[in-house]
Structures are given as C-alpha cells and as structure tokens.
Amino acid sequence: MHILLEHGVVMEPSKKPLNVLIKQLHGNIEVVLKNGCEYKGKMIKCDGHMNILLEGATESKDDQPLTNYGNVLLRGNNILYIVLDATKH
C-alpha cells in the first residue's frame, strides 16, 4: 500500500513520519517545541498524536541547560521538530 501526497508524490508506509519515529523507540532523540524549549532524552513511548514520553530528559533553551527531569511527556501538537539519533549532535 502506498500513500498519495500532494503533487502526485507517493510515500511508502515505512517512510511515514510516525513509522519512522516508532523505529526510534528506546533511542536518544531531541525534541524542539514551538516555544523554543528543547528536550533531549531516551524516547520510551509515542502514540498516534506524536505525544512523546522521554526518560532521563534534559530541558534547555538557546543552548543553555535549564533542568534535568526523570520522565517528561511532550504533547504532540506543541512539537516543532524532532531530531532522531540525537547522540550525533
């Protein structure tokens, strides 16, 4: 099954953003929110709304560390973008 996007572009199911995100479960990611806050941690859960649960999360803003958390739940509609395999950054 393929998904037809705008302008006739076809996207395979394995390339859908949610499927790509799910493949990163238990990996380190960075999540940047619309308000500019950045969270890094190990993604232990995500759902169809891209709500993300991070374990061992750290919060920063403008590259300045703010707080260390145990677990943090990030609401999907507040997410601006996600960096997968954040250990490379």
Please list, residue by residue across 66-83, b when 16 or more beta carbons sit within 10 angstroms of its beta carbon and e when fewer do. Answer: eeeeeebebeeeebeebe
Residue 13: band (very low, low, confident or very high) from pLDDT cuts 50, 70, 90: low
Give the alpha-carbon dihedral of 3, 30, 35, 70, to 10 degrees.
120
> Considering the domain boundaries, does residue 19 fall inside one?
no
Number of domains making up the chain: 1
Annotate 18-41 with DSSP letters as a single string: HHHHHTTTTSEEEEEETTSEEEEE
- Tell me the residue range of the domain where 74 lies: 25-88
H or E element at residue 4 = strand 3-4
The answer to whether residue 6 sits within a structural domain is no
Q: What's CA 19's distance to the chain center, in Å?
A: 12
Task: Please check whether residue 10 lies inside any domain of the structure.
Answer: no
Q: Is residue 73 part of a domain?
A: yes
Residue 2 included in any domain: no
- Residue range 3-18: mean pLDDT, rounded: 62
Overall pTM > 0.85: no
